[in-house]
Amino acid sequence: MALEPTSLNENARQAPNSPLNTKLQQSPTTRPEHPPGHSTRQPPLSQIESEILATITSPQYPPETIKKAKSQLDALIAHHSTRASLYLLRANTTHLFLAPSNSKPSHEGPPLSSHQQQHLTGSILSDLAEAIALATPRTTNEPIGPEEARILAAAHTQRGQLLCTAAESGDLSALRGSVSLGVPAAEGEVGKGALEELGRRDLFWGARYAGKAGRRTRERGG
């Protein structure tokens, strides 16, 4: 009497290490999450920053693009809170909400309220202050690299321009009690003269660090 053929599943149970069982285990339902050769490595931060910068400096961008870039930077800063360049890039991104000069008119939303403008300006100044604090050498003897010099030049210059513009316009509401500017919060108000002085000081340091950045780059290239 002929023996009945044994089922595939039964053979697999009987020989767990057999080639047949291995083949069954690699069926579509049990396929590894990532195919061979697939890499889950994230691109370096510098590459991500460059991609975000390219996005927000494109000839035309809708507000949705700025919001997406801002969300990306919020998430990156949450995991890399000591990277000065991220704060500088987020300040630049946030500034686009205030002055969307490159966006198409059809993408422009309703005008920002005074409260929204104050909030955005405060966020920009806070990020610039953090970028400056993180990139500034802790001691006078500590050397400064070209990247740190570039960040400090940009952050000081941008903050200086914001402060001088605010002092000229007389709209100081977003700057009152700003500890990040070196003004005690207890004073509750920033005078135009003091604000202009702070702005000029920032512009001075911006120019000085820009010179250092240029020298460091030339030295490294040469």
- pLDDT tens readout for residues 91-117: 999 998 887 544 444 345 677 787 788
What number of other Cβ atoms are within 10 A of residue 132's Cβ? 22
- Residue whose tokens read 């023996």: 3
Domain boundaries along the sequence of the chain? 45-103+112-221
In angstroms, rounded to a whole number, what is the distance separating the alpha carbons of residues 51 and 66? 13
133 close to 179: Cβ distance less than 8 angstroms: no
How high is the pLDDT of residue 131? 96
Task: Pick out the chain residues at pLDDT < 50.
Answer: 1-16, 18-39, 101-107, 177, 179, 183-188, 222
How high is the pLDDT of residue 204? 96
Angle, CA of 170, 175 and 179, to the nearest 5°: 145
Length of the chain: 222
Q: For CA atoms 97, 82, 219, 200, give the dihedral sign.
A: positive
